[in-house]
Structure 1
Amino acid sequence: MNKGMYTKLAITNIKNNRQFYFPYLLTGIITVAMFYIMCALESNPGIQSMPGAKDLGLILRLGIGVIGIFAVIFLFYTNSFIIKRRKKELGIYNILGMEKRHIAKILSKEAFFTAIIAIGGGLVTGVLFHKLACMLLYRMIGFNGGITFSFSKKGVMITAILFAIVYLLTYIYDLFQVQLANPIELLQSGNKGEREPKTKAIMAVLGVLCLGTGYFIAITTKNPVKALTLFFVAVILVIIGTYLLFTAGSIALLKILRRNKGYYYQTKHFTSVSGMIYRMKQNAVGLANICILSTMVLVAVSTTVSLYVGVEDIMKERYPNEINIRAYYDTGAPSEDSIAPIVEKSVKESGRKIRHEEDYLELYFAAIKDQGQYSLDKEKVKTAGDRVSGFVVLTREDCKKKYNEEIPELAENEVALFTIKKTNMDTLVLENRSYHVKEIKQFQNTEDFETIADIMDEYYYVIVNDVQDMELLWQLQKEIYQENSSSISRQVRLDIDGDSEQKKECFENIKTALGPEQAKARILIDSRQSNLDEFYQIYGGFLFLGLFLGILFLMITVLIIFYKQISEGYDDKERFSIMEKVGMSNNEVKATIRSQVRTVFFLPILMAAVHVGMAFPMIKRLLSLFGLSNTALFAGCMAGTILVFALIYLLVFLKTSKTYYKIVGEQV
């Protein structure tokens, strides 16, 4: 057989199997294009020169890694489906006289053409759409720089090498599949049925336990820092539980339905339940994959949309006022206020007016509760985690200014407490010092302290009589904590009038004016407006990545559904034909098919919705680490994402069902 014949056969095979190859090639092209676009954006000169490029570059590199990993898994999965459907065809070649080395050459040509089309087409598509993706990213991060066409040689090289290796590995896998099977096995592969699977009770119970444990972690973990470390544990448990439940739990459920005589011995239920029992072993993995990928789409898109939409809320949470100044004094309380007059003068010289101003002294330190007392043991505090208690010390005068709360004069060793949680403490013991608690007030709006309450066991505002009393507590914690001790800080917070640029200009003037004061104190100054651009860049980058990954996961989900429908169509065609021949009416066959398709198709999306609902509390706490504590906003974004995804899923169902019905033929 000459070389030209191998090429012709390979091209003919791809054409004849276009129903399988076209979606495979199309998704391969899109995946390659997405990977190249991420690589090109990461090395784009315009993006590298913008403010916050370091954070954005990290986000884009994360996207490159995730897309690369899922591309490998995805292409192997779809390739394994195609080679499975083509085994009978390859078996015929073998029976007709072709040796396996000849078949290997045909497969090598097919793999070569597939790789060239996917990689070449993907790179061309990626280069063409790179500028559009760049424009979208610029829009999301609020960057107004010019967009120039750029071609990433490095991106082309990395993309070509990665996907060439992937397609080479898929070819090697196909080769093994053919080499290890004899011609008869290849011919009968399409007719090989499934034995009735055994009810694996232990596996089903393990699935329930894994899923239940994952849900329990997600619901009960209150501390956002702990949630960050336990999130991946919960995710792994839910993934394992999903696979086990779909594999063993679904079979157990179907057998329970079969034992229910009133339900089972109805025509549409009888055929659909019995058919699904025999094929659930191969169905289960596909259904679990669809469920997990659907969950990934919902989580990735809803969280990144929430962060982007909630940037204004995040900024208000992180920066309560337009300009926030903190001056830390390592030698105790300052003898006079030199910060506020400088700030007020700078604001006036900038042509702005102060709409609201706060100016107060504050001392913060941590302790650990031990038998009703609070210890300042630094080693215990370091290892206590969320059992730490936080104390913020204010004077009566500053409490009046900050919270508009009048505290009566306090005697020596007497304090008042402001608390988040209700308490009836009558004596506050800090290390070796006791204070009589004269008055306890609970904060009216505890939502402002929700994140703190999750991180810390207890959190108190301790109101003392004057600055001298504050200094006594500062000395106490300084003697114990030494180099790790806290400083008394002056907090100056103000809101000013003006537009965005005027506020930024005023902020820069204040920074310049406070320069000489750096010799007296460590001064930290932040502006909500000046940091807004940086936050839009970070969260805009997250949104871009979330949408990109959402599209990738959705594409993989759609392709798995499509191939699953084709596979089941070919498996069911003969079965439903036999059913009609033995007496089932066409309407009964139609009802059976619809019942089976709907049950199998909508089970993963319902399970995904349950996963997302159970993950809601944990994801909400994780978002609080980013500064987003607006639960209603996150709930709205998640509900909107689920609704949009459900509509897309329904459209995919309607489209792929037509393919299924077309294959099954006259029965529908």
Structure 2
Amino acid sequence: MTLFSLARKNIARNFSKYFLYIASMVFSIVIYFTFVTLKYSDTIAKKTASSQKLDSLMSGAAVILLLFVAIFIAYSNSFFMKKRKKEVALYALLGVRNRQIGLMLFFENLLLGLFSLVIGVILGFLCSKGFMTILIHLMGYDVIAPFTFSSSAALNTAIVFLAIFLVTSFQGYRLIYQFKLIDLFHASKKGEVVPKPSMVVAILGVLLISIGYWLALQDIFSSKVWLAVGFLIIALIILTTVIVGTFLLFHSVTGFVLVVMKRNEKWLWRGLHLMTISQLVYRIRGNARTLTVIAILSATTVTAGGAVYGLYYNINDQVITADPNTFMYEQTDSKFDQQVSSVLPNVKYDENIEALSVTFHTEQLNSAFNNSDKRIYTIINEKTYNQLATIQKKEKIDVNNANAVILDIGYDERFSPKYKGKTILTEDNTILTFQSFQTQSVLNTGTAGITVVVSNEYYKVLKEDGEVLNYRVIGVDKASAELSEKVAKYLPEKAQLSSAPQDLQTGIESVGSLLFIGGFLGLVFLAATGSIIYFKVLTEAEEDKYQYNMLHKMGVSAKEMRKTIASQVFVIFFVPLAVGLLHSAIALKAFSSLLMMDLVKPVLIWMIAYTVIYGLYYILTVFSYGRIITQNNRTEG
């Protein structure tokens, strides 16, 4: 029997153990192949206006995915090698040469990789149509993508993953040369070094995480710490303190919590709680590095995905705020108006309004972020505002004689001017005082910019200081980007057309592509995260099966053992998830404050979706753990 055929038979015999590892690799290959296929796709390039930007995003995402998958495969492979050490030792004891054993392990890893590569490329091709359709849909287009097989994408994927598999296969080859025979036999009994809990370390861990949270929640623009130290350095400090603090959290803090639980003797001696707590004390402390990786990966995935989904979720509201009218443009020639009217369906309203463009001296409005002494504002009178406000179902306003209300949709109290009570002057020293401000407008800001509302009488006074402008504002039911293109075709550039459907399409197109990339990268990270815990827990199940067999012989019921297994695995799975979700909640709170955007609902949706999929890995792990214990009890009696 050749080494190659022996490797093939070993894989067939242990395929159930390798299944999730293979499934994770296949999934990673499918996503990578999809990204590369989309990069080379002509369908998206023809359909979207941002194909070059999307190409860059796909290339960047492919690199991130590649680095992560390489680390994941190497990490997972080390777990399988640990499980194989006793088998390797038996081969050595039977007289098989080290070189032959190394080659057998090399071939096994390479065969697994090649099998995963072939399946991944095939599935990637079959799924490419669906993935491309999802991307096009997220970008706001209603198109069914065709089946696409890119030989360039297949070659790229094959070269990249073959290189990864060769490296991990060589890792398996070196195993036989790295350990003594006795070490290989006892490898399954060796866990990670169990650190002793320390009160000082526990306090330090909580303190570091608290420092990271405090820095993250400070306002970037007004915090003295951020301004003094600098953005990049503070960001590195936050990452360092949170990651190190998380490690120390699993190193000692959770240990102390379990020790406190252990002191409750009434609860401890009920069922198998004593065994559960004792094993958790070892597992959590001993696996501090692994649990830290899981928590940070979860936090990264949820934060990135939640932020992008939050942006995508709020695009429509942002466009409605910036463009309350479907179309708005400056009227320059009546013939253009007639041509535009000829292509407008389902018109709700069509108004011609007069406005002024006035230059003001704005020294009182200066701030650290805007030191300009002169600004141009669009002026409308109270009557025009209330007319449009009624159509748009907004509250009317009442403007006092020489006062004004400024409509600034980009207002941010951290660096916007404090408008109320401030005075501005025209070039002819006409005074205008702001009685209030609003963060909404009745005119499209793309055309009118920041608008100021004055009384009907004072509008006549300002008319002498400004340039009269005539605008057309249009409301249309179910407007589309195609309709916007038709309207734009009839208007000169100086008309400054602003189009709500076009702005919506542009926003969806850019953020939708980010959501697609972030979502699928998040799924790969999630699959890897769940797989890492799965491999770790099942490795421990092989070690624990003899203890459970003793309990079985002592008369402990299978139901009680399953309950203990479920509770142990639950803690190992969901403690790092809870920590990761807390990290991401703080990060997303800082992100929402930075953008002045409400992200609560989309972030909760994203977190729930992540937790549900993560929970499926928990169920699978508990089932697999229980099967190992049950089969061993049947075998051993």
Structure 1 and Structure 2 fold alike (TM over 0.5)? yes
- Structure 1 position 245, deviation (Å): 1.6
Residue 495 (structure 1) aligns with:
474
Residue 517 (structure 2) aligns with:
545
Contact 2:220/2:594 (<8 A) preserved: no
Cα distance in 1, alignment partners of residues 606 and 334 from structure 2:
50
Instruction: Give the aligned residue type for 1:650.
Output: G
Query: Does 2:268 correspond to 1:244?
Result: no
Distance 1:497 1:278, change over 3 A: closer
Distance 1:228 1:63, change over 3 A: farther
Residue 562 (structure 1) aligns with:
534
Contact 1:36/1:126 (<8 A) preserved: yes
Residue 659 (structure 1) aligns with:
624
Further displaced range: 530-539 or 543-552: 530-539
- Structure 1 position 242, deviation (Å): 2.7
Deviation digits for residues 291-323 of structure 1, max 9, x if unmatched?
333344444544444444444323213323222
Deviation digits for residues 528-560 of structure 1, max 9, x if unmatched?
223443333323323322332232123213322
2:275 to 271, 275, 287: 271
Query: Does 2:488 correspond to 1:508?
Result: yes
Deviation digits for residues 336-361 of structure 1, max 9, x if unmatched?
xx648676555445567643455433
2:506 to 522, 525, 534: 534
Cα distance in 1, alignment partners of residues 324 and 587 from structure 2:
29
Pairing of 1:9-88 with structure 2 (within 5 A): 9-52=6-49, 53-88=51-86
Contact 1:391/1:461 (<8 A) preserved: no
Cα distance in 2, alignment partners of residues 100 and 489 from structure 1:
90
Distance 1:367 1:276, change over 3 A: farther
Residue 173 (structure 1) aligns with:
171
Cα distance in 1, alignment partners of residues 112 and 208 from structure 2:
40
Residue 384 (structure 2) aligns with:
401
Contact 2:27/2:120 (<8 A) preserved: yes
SS in 2 for 1:500: coil
SS in 2 for 1:361: strand
SS in 1 for 2:2: helix
SS in 2 for 1:440: strand
Instruction: Give the aligned residue type for 2:258.
Output: L
Question: Where do 5+ consecutive residues of structure 1 fail to align?
Answer: 327-337, 376-380, 453-458, 475-487
Cα distance in 2, alignment partners of residues 153 and 489 from structure 1:
61
Contact 2:380/2:451 (<8 A) preserved: no
- Structure 1 position 274, deviation (Å): 1.9
- Structure 1 position 21, deviation (Å): 2.0
TM-score by length of 2: 0.79
- Structure 1 position 644, deviation (Å): 3.5
Cα distance in 1, alignment partners of residues 498 and 55 from structure 2:
24
Distance 1:592 1:127, change over 3 A: closer
Distance 1:317 1:74, change over 3 A: farther
Contact 1:107/1:175 (<8 A) preserved: yes
Distance 1:150 1:462, change over 3 A: closer
Distance 1:613 1:499, change over 3 A: closer
Question: Where do 5+ consecutive residues of structure 2 fail to align?
Answer: 387-395
Cα distance in 1, alignment partners of residues 565 and 193 from structure 2:
21
SS in 1 for 2:496: strand
Further displaced range: 260-269 or 117-126: 260-269
SS in 2 for 1:495: strand
Distance 1:426 1:310, change over 3 A: closer
Residue 280 (structure 1) aligns with:
284
Cα distance in 2, alignment partners of residues 33 and 540 from structure 1:
20
Distance 1:14 1:426, change over 3 A: closer
Instruction: Give the aligned residue type for 2:539.
Output: S
Cα distance in 1, alignment partners of residues 104 and 360 from structure 2:
73
Cα distance in 1, alignment partners of residues 572 and 278 from structure 2:
13
Cα distance in 2, alignment partners of residues 264 and 388 from structure 1:
68
- Structure 1 position 467, deviation (Å): 9.1
Pairing of 1:604-643 with structure 2 (within 5 A): 604-621=576-593, 629=597, 631=598, 634-643=599-608
Residue 317 (structure 2) aligns with:
313
Distance 1:302 1:374, change over 3 A: closer
- Structure 1 position 640, deviation (Å): 2.9
Instruction: Give the aligned residue type for 1:654.
Output: I
Distance 1:228 1:308, change over 3 A: farther
- Structure 1 position 243, deviation (Å): 3.0
Pairing of 1:214-229 with structure 2 (within 5 A): 214-221=212-219
TM-score by length of 1: 0.76
Instruction: Give the aligned residue type for 1:538.
Output: S
SS in 2 for 1:221: coil
Contact 1:507/1:527 (<8 A) preserved: no
Pairing of 1:509-524 with structure 2 (within 5 A): 509-511=489-491, 514-515=492-493, 518=494, 524=496
Cα distance in 2, alignment partners of residues 231 and 462 from structure 1:
42
Distance 1:642 1:48, change over 3 A: same
- Structure 1 position 183, deviation (Å): 0.7
Cα distance in 1, alignment partners of residues 577 and 515 from structure 2:
23
Contact 2:365/2:418 (<8 A) preserved: no
SS in 1 for 2:52: helix
Query: Does 2:127 correspond to 1:129?
Result: yes
1:576 to 526, 541, 548: 548
SS in 1 for 2:153: helix
Distance 1:35 1:503, change over 3 A: closer
Residue 482 (structure 1) aligns with:
none
Deviation digits for residues 314-333 of structure 1, max 9, x if unmatched?
3213323222447xxxxxxx
RMSD of Structure 2 on Structure 1 (CA):
4.4
Deviation digits for residues 1-38 of structure 1, max 9, x if unmatched?
xxx52113212322333233222222222211221111
Distance 1:509 1:116, change over 3 A: closer
Pairing of 1:28-427 with structure 2 (within 5 A): 28-52=25-49, 53-143=51-141, 147-192=145-190, 196-221=194-219, 234=238, 237-258=241-262, 264=268, 268-325=272-329, 339=332, 344=337, 346-348=339-341, 350=343, 354-356=349-351, 358-362=353-357, 384-385=368-369, 398=381, 401-402=384-385, 405-410=397-402
SS in 2 for 1:496: strand
- Structure 1 position 236, deviation (Å): 5.7
Instruction: Give the aligned residue type for 1:88.
Output: K
SS in 1 for 2:196: coil
- Structure 1 position 92, deviation (Å): 1.5
Distance 1:388 1:25, change over 3 A: farther
- Structure 1 position 146, deviation (Å): 6.9
Cα distance in 2, alignment partners of residues 363 and 152 from structure 1:
57
Tell me the matched-pair count: 599
Distance 1:144 1:252, change over 3 A: same
Highest RCO, 1 vs 2 (Cα 8 Å, sep ≥ 6): 1
Cα distance in 2, alignment partners of residues 273 and 448 from structure 1:
60
Cα distance in 2, alignment partners of residues 536 and 322 from structure 1:
17
Contact 1:90/1:186 (<8 A) preserved: yes
Cα distance in 1, alignment partners of residues 468 and 252 from structure 2:
61
Further displaced range: 287-296 or 164-173: 287-296
Cα distance in 2, alignment partners of residues 6 and 658 from structure 1:
34
Instruction: Give the aligned residue type for 2:322.
Output: R
Contact 1:399/1:406 (<8 A) preserved: yes
Distance 1:321 1:425, change over 3 A: closer
Residue 484 (structure 1) aligns with:
none
